[in-house]
Homo-oligomer: A and B are copies of this chain.
Amino acid sequence: MQATEARAPAAAREMFYSEALGDALRLEMARDERVIVIGEDIAEHGGAFQVTAGLLERFGPTRIRQTPISEIGIVGAAVGAALTGLRPVVELMYVDFAGLAMDQIVNQAAQNRFMFGGQARVPMVLRTQGGSGRGNAAQHSKSLEAWFAHVAGLKVVMPSTPGDAKGLLTAAIRDDNPVIFLEHKLLYRTKGPVPEGEHLVPLGKADVKRAGRDLVIVTWSREVLFALEAAERLARDEIEAEVVDARTLVPLDKETILASVRKTHRVLVLHEAVKRGGYGAEIAAMIAEEAFDDLDAPPRRLAGLETPIPYAQHLERSVVPQVDDIVRAAKELVA
């Protein structure tokens, strides 16, 4: 894959995260007729979060292939299609439904290449979204990146900005491996500059979204926005937090993370998913293992409580890290 990092190219346009994703799909579908989109509600309705809006009109119902509710059937069909020459992009409406399709994702897509001794490639993207914040309760609000990241054979991507969303989705579609592409339901209506035309952000590169000297917050997806907000508040108290957006969880950009740790000597790993067994554990353990002597304080994790996501708005907020929680944890860490 030839990927060029284009951070702030000449022509950029303000777009919603959802539009940026749609833009990537549109460009890749125009570029390569083997790219098709498969999923529920993606045609006339334009997808539950409007990412595929307009694509039916442009590419027709065979390339924007709306399916019945049959998650394992759909994902499995995508695996078969990928094995035989298409480059399918599946939209799984909520990551919570992955439990229905996990067998095809893990036992087939992730492992086929290996099991067949290299005879096959499975160039497919599974786009889905997770996270809480919309009152959708416990079966529509999970953050499950840790499941996928544990599976050898998958790549895992979680963009936080519209620009990254477009660039990473483009790279994911061009990747010859199964890529789990995890969006966040509360990011779709966030706006940001998005390079026009072809835009690739290579998989496996973290992004320092804010520089700082006192601690580094390593995070991804929606919590990046919270971390940046927290960093602004901390700055008022003269605490300068660096914010590293991991962006790709697999492959993980250890170098960028470790460089920030070596610079700041204190680290807060932050995510929305349940803390117990979350991917933050991997990052914290990796840091403890590889940068032990650079640490002036224990590597700290701030993450979701060990509970399903509740429905009521005040409860929902109480179980995943909010800006206040980040500010508090950061202050404790540098104290």
Interface residues of A (CB under 8 A from B): 72, 96-107, 110-111, 114-115, 137-139, 144, 146-147, 149-153, 250, 273-274, 276-282, 284-286, 288-290, 292, 295, 297-301, 305-308, 310
User: B289, A298: Cβ atoms under 8 Å?
Assistant: yes
Min Cβ gap A141→B in Å is: 11
- Which chain B residues border A298 with CB–CB below 8 Å? 288-290, 292
Which residue of B is nearest A290, CB measured?
B298
Determine whether the beta carbon of B147 is less than 8 Å from that of A150: yes
Q: Is the CB of A99 within 8 A of B110?
A: no
In the bound complex, residues from chain B placing their C-beta under 8 Å from that of A276 are 149-150, 152, 250, 282
The CA-CA distance from A276 to B153 in the complex, in Å, is 12
Integer count of this chain's copies in the complex: 2
* Complex Cα–Cα for A273 and B284 (A): 18
Known: A107-B138, A115-B139, A149-B276. 8 other contacts (CB 8 A): A72-B100, A97-B103, A114-B307, A146-B150, A147-B150, A152-B307, A277-B281, A282-B285
A142 smallest CB distance to B (angstroms)? 8
CA distance A273 to B147 in the complex (A): 13
B147 and A308: CB pair below 8 A? no
Given contacts A276-B282, A285-B299, contact A147 B147 (CB under 8 A): yes
Tell me the smallest distance from the CB of A170 to a CB of chain B, in Å: 25
Given contacts A97-B103, A137-B115, contact A299 B308 (CB under 8 A): no
A105 and B100 CA atoms in complex are apart in Å by 10
Instruction: Say whether B308 contacts A152, CB under 8 Å.
Output: yes
Q: List 13 A-B contacts (CB under 8 A).
A: A98-B102, A99-B105, A111-B139, A114-B308, A146-B150, A149-B276, A150-B278, A152-B307, A281-B282, A281-B285, A284-B285, A285-B299, A289-B299
Determine how close the nearest CB of chain B comes to the CB of A118; give it in whole angstroms: 12
A100 to chain B, nearest CB (A): 5
Using CB atoms, name the residue of chain B closest to A153.
B308
Contact A138 B115 (CB under 8 A): yes
Contact status B307-A274, CB under 8 Å? no
